[in-house]
Structure formats: structure tokens, C-alpha cells
Amino acid sequence: MKNKPTIIKLSTFCFFLMFCAVANTQTLSIEIEKDRFGIDQNKKIIVAQFFEIEQYADLSNYQAIEITFETNVFNFKNLTSKFEYSSSYILENGSSDFRLFFTQFPLVFMNTTQPIVDDPKRAVDFVYADENEILYQKPGVEIRGGFSQTFPKKTYDLEFWKDGNADEKIDVQFRDLRNDDDWVLDALYNEPLRIRTHIAHKLWLEMHEIYYANEEPKAKSGADVFFVEMFLNNRYNGLYVISEQIDRKQLKLQKYDNEIRGELYKGITWVGGAVTYTGLPQVDNSSRFWGGYEAKYPGEDDATDWTNIYDLTDFVMNASDTDFKEKIWSMIHQENFLDYFLYLNLIRASDNTGKNLFMAKRDIGEPFFCSPWDLDACFGTAWTGQNQTRTDNILSNGLYDRLILLNPDDFNEKLNVRWRELRSSSWSNEALINKIVETYQYLEDNNIYERESIVYPNYRFNQIAKNYIVNWTEDRVAFLDQYFGELSDSNEITNTTPFVFYPNPTNGVLHYENVDLFRGQEFTISDAIGTSHHSGILDENKIDISYLPSGLYFLKIDNKIFRVLKM
């Protein structure tokens, strides 16, 4: 009598492995249930969830292995000694060969008969499957992003609807993230290792707690994320992160109730300059857009009033030095903006100095605070996906330029103290490098890079790319250690007499007093990274820097350093 195969069926909910031990069994047969796998007929890829893979560490007793996906039976073309996430396997099915990947990642399936566009949202059949549950929904989906919409791998905005009806939303929850109707599927296409967005979001949440957390324990300072794999219309779309949205609910802003209390503005473009405190366009409350911001809360149907964010921008740009030093911390939250400056510069998020930034106000009379979003351009990579190797400069904007220049409430010293605190703990070289290496190794051990390279061969997902981000990070923190150390040195940086320079900020010409006393002394003007842009001998009562680009500079005379803001 022919020996019966050992049949292993993966249960939908508990994945209990049922072994039918039969003497002299020669064939191992595995069944993968519906919605626990995806088959890409075009790329000949199969990705199947398999959460008990460690039980297949020794397959030496089997002479054949077959695997069934619902009713489709495939045979392993070559015998293997064990199953592991880090390998792929060639399967035969008739005349076609497929490459099988076992995964422990959650799977997302989206199917639609209509093309998904930028706007409006289109209803799709949606399935989410992880080790604990399978979720069936019919959300509205649209493509998200600006330039990223040109990429072959799209980012999607999801809004979950009851029975596919856009008029009635429902909340869903993924893992331990929030329960909500609004989610993002971030494509990570322009990230050479697919890890920067994930690491950057986690870093911000770990290092910064929202200032009213004791009153609102569910409030988060940013969006949390986790990895998934996605199929769109039965084609493998690769690795994504599911991300929470930054909105009123995430930040626990006070609700609109016939008056504006909580406010939320999203920096979406550099145009207008308000997001970087370099421009102050006229306000138009009939528009949901101003100065590079989009008004997100209150909603359009409730109210639009740009007064508070306009007044803050106007104050930062035009207040006297005395007023700025006395009042700025009543308008913005000091610890939040301090942490954000350190974070922005640690990861060198070049797109997040104004654009890709949320400005929020919890309630009437409370200060503004900020939260980052769209964190793909960081850790030495530009938004184009190309390496941006520079590590020796400081990212800033008009607000931070004035904070560093005028140093209200010892802001510079607090930057130094907070930097040293982080560097001795979660931002030590070891901690940062471990976070990078462990995230990379997690994807490598799960063979994500092999299947990503099959569908998107634009990057080499290898050790060279990993070593680049590690080396970049080490060089970056070495520069910042020096910068923040020097920034707080009150013996070196001063604006006291007899050196008095005015106006500061300046549009081009600095004047100084006591000409006869200091005539003939040498001076140099350098930028934030120490590059000298101008030098000379003090002679007349002015120094012309009109040719320099706008930004923060350091004027050195007689071993003393003065901050100069060129507008």
C-alpha cells in the first residue's frame, strides 16, 4: 500500500500544526489557507505566512515536499534540509516555476476594478492578515504624496468605510497602534534599505513625549509604524509600513465647539516662506492654504482662521530682540522645539525644516508645538533616494536662527545639556548603530531584499548600503558633538561691549562702535560648519556681508565669537 503523506494545515487563527504521523512517511504536504498567501503570476512570486517555521529545522527524512494554496498544489523542485525565512524555494506547478518566500510579516491585499488615483478615493477590497487575525474591509484608497507619485511603487492613503460607503467611516486597529479610520501605507520606494522611515519615526516617539501626556496619556508626539508586505490586484508590491496619521485625534487636541480651540497646520510646500519663517504672505481665511501650510484642523466645514499661526510667524520674523527673548516661550513650547532641533539635525532630515512638519496648538492660550512627518529623506539620503553624503552642517530655519542668535532662557546651553543626555543613553553610538543594524538585519534575515530586488531593481540592498548609513551616522554625531559643545561655551560666544554690532539681523551691512579702539584687528566670518566666507582687517565702522546667502554666521574678532543673522 502506498504511504500517505504527512499533511500540515495552517489554521487561520491559531496556526496549530496538525501532524499525522505515519510510519515510513516519504512526502511532506503543507496546506496554506486563504488570505495567508499571495501569488504573483507575472513575477512568479509566492509569499506565504508561516509562523511556526522553527518546527521544520530538519526535513532530511522526506523525499518529496508539496504545498497547497487553497486548491493549487505545488511541488518543491529541489529538496531542502529545512525551512527558513532567509531562503527562497523553487516550486513547480505544471510548466511554470515559482519562487516561494515564507514570511512572518503581516500581509495586506488590495483588489479593485478601478485604477487608484490621487483623488478621489476609490473603494477597494482590503484584507489584512497577521499572526493573530484576518481583517476584511472595504476602505477608500487614494495615491498619496507629491513627486513620489511618479515612482512605480506608490504610497496610499486609506480611509475605512462601513460597507464601502464613503459617508460612513469605521475605525480599525492594527496591532497595538491606535483605533482609527485613517491610515497610510508608505511605499519606502526611495529608501535604498527601506529602513530610514521606520527608524526615524521610532526615534522621535522614543525621545519625545508630548508635554500634556499626564493629562492625555493616549496622546502621541508623532506617528507610529510597522512593516507589512502588500499585494495589489494579485501583484506583489513589496515592503511597506503601515503608519498612523498625525491629526487631532493622534495629538489629542481640543475639539472645535463653535470656537477654535485646538489647531493643526501641515507644512506641505516651501512656497510662501511662512513654514521656514522667511516669508509672511497676506492671510486669506477663505483659503485652506497659507504660506506653505495647509489647515488640517478645525475642518473646512467648521472654521478657517490663520490668525494664531500668522501672529507667531510675524513675531518670529519681526519682533524686537528684547520682545523675542521675553515672549517666545509663551508662544512655542520650549522642550518640544529644543528636542525637534536636535532630532532634525541628528538624522539630518533635510526636507523637514518647515515642509513635512505639523504645527499644532492644543487649546486656547497654550503654545504651539511641532511634529515631523514624511521622514524618507534622512540618514544621508535625499528625497530622490540618492546618497547625500554631507554630515558637517546644521539644518535650521528663521525661528532656530533667532533662537540660537538671541539665546532666550539659555536655549543654547539647554541644547547642549539635552544633547549630552541623549548621547549618554538612547543616542549613544552603540545604541544608534544597533538600531540601524538590527532593523537592516531583520529585513535581511527575512529575505525581504531578495523579493524587493525582483520587483524593484533600482537599488542594491547589500552590506555596502548598510555600511554607508552606519558610517554616515558615526560621522554625523561626531560633528554634532563638536557643534553643540561649542554652542554652549559662554566664554567664547558673546555679544557684550565693547563689541556692539548692528543691525542684527542684517540685510547686508554690519556697523560697529568703538572704531578707533579696534582699528587694525583681524576678523573672520564663518558659517555653522566652520567654513570661512570672509576675512579682513577692521578699518571703517562697517563690514559688508551683503553677498552672503541668508543664514546664520559667526564673526570672530580677538578670540571672541558673535552670532550674525543674515536675512
Summarize pLDDT for 462-489 with one digit per residue, the tens.
889 999 999 999 999 999 998 888 776 5
Can you tell me the mean pLDDT for 23-39?
85
Can you tell me the mean pLDDT for 373-383?
94
**pLDDT score of 18 more than 60:** no
pLDDT at 7: 41
Are 497 and 491 spatial neighbours (Cβ–Cβ below 8 Å)? no
Can you tell me the mean pLDDT for 142-163?
92
pLDDT at 556: 81
Can you tell me the mean pLDDT for 106-128?
95
DSSP of 163-229: TTEEEEE--EE-TTS-EESEEEEE--TT-TTS-HHHHHHHHHHHH---TTTTT-TT--SS--EEEEE
Q: How far apart are CA 319 and CA 326, in angstroms?
A: 10
pLDDT at 146: 82
- 321-343 burial: b if 16+ Cβ within 10 Å, else e: eeebbeebbebbbbebbbbbbbb
pLDDT at 488: 64
Three-state SS at 483: helix
Summarize pLDDT for 259-284 with one digit per residue, the tens.
999 999 999 999 999 999 999 999 99
pLDDT at 559: 64
Grid cell of 473 as nine digits: 551616522
Handedness of CA 191, 195, 198, 201 (dihedral sign): negative
Q: 68 - beta bridge partners?
A: 31, 73
Q: Which amino acid, 27?
A: T
pLDDT at 530: 65
Say if residue 192 is preceded by a cis peptide, omega within 30 of 0.
no
**pLDDT score of 499 more than 80:** no
Share of the chain above pLDDT 70, in %: 91
Can you say whether residue 91 is alpha, beta or left, with left for phi > 0 and alpha for psi between -120 and 50 degrees? beta
Q: How far apart are CA 293 and CA 287, in angstroms?
A: 11
Summarize pLDDT for 385-422 with one digit per residue, the tens.
899 999 999 999 999 999 999 999 999 999 999 999 99
DSSP summary character for residue 283: P
**pLDDT score of 337 more than 50:** yes
Q: CB neighbours (10 Å) of residue 495?
A: 17
**pLDDT score of 496 more than 70:** no
List of residues 6+ apart from 481 with CB closer than 8 A: 419, 423
Handedness of CA 423, 334, 485, 525 (dihedral sign): positive
Grid cell of 254 as nine digits: 481640543
pLDDT band at 9 (very low <50, low <70, confident <90, very high): very low
Rounded to the nearest integer, the mean pLDDT of the chain is 89
pLDDT at 14: 35
**pLDDT score of 11 more than 80:** no
Q: How far apart are CA 418 and CA 416, in angstroms?
A: 6
pLDDT at 15: 37
Q: Which amino acid, 545?
A: I
Q: Looking up cell 504624496, which residue turns up?
A: 145
Three-state SS at 267: strand
pLDDT at 515: 64
pLDDT at 75: 95
pLDDT at 565: 77
Report the candidate in 244, 256, 204, 280 with the shortest Cα–Cα distance to residue 361. 256
Grid cell of 246 as nine digits: 498625525
- 44-68 burial: b if 16+ Cβ within 10 Å, else e: bbbbbbbbeeeebeeeeebeebbbe
pLDDT at 344: 97
Q: How far apart are CA 467 and CA 486, in angstroms?
A: 29
Q: 49 - beta bridge partners?
A: 103
* Residue 400 host element (H or E): helix 398-406
**CA gyration radius, the chain:** 28
Instruction: Kindly list the structural domains of the chain, giving each domain's residue range(s) and its CATH number in brackets, ordered by start.
Output: 6-103 (no CATH), 107-187+213-244 (no CATH), 253-487 (1.10.1070), 501-566 (2.60.40.10)
Are 535 and 545 spatial neighbours (Cβ–Cβ below 8 Å)? no
pLDDT at 3: 41
Can you tell me the mean pLDDT for 542-565?
79
What strand order describes the sheet that includes 522-526?
532-537, 522-526, 551-557, 560-566
pLDDT at 563: 74
Can you tell me the mean pLDDT for 315-328?
97
List of residues 6+ apart from 69 with CB closer than 8 A: 32, 37, 39, 46, 48
Q: How far apart are CA 269 and CA 121, in angstroms?
A: 23
pLDDT at 199: 98
**pLDDT score of 329 more than 50:** yes
pLDDT at 202: 98
Are 276 and 397 spatial neighbours (Cβ–Cβ below 8 Å)? yes
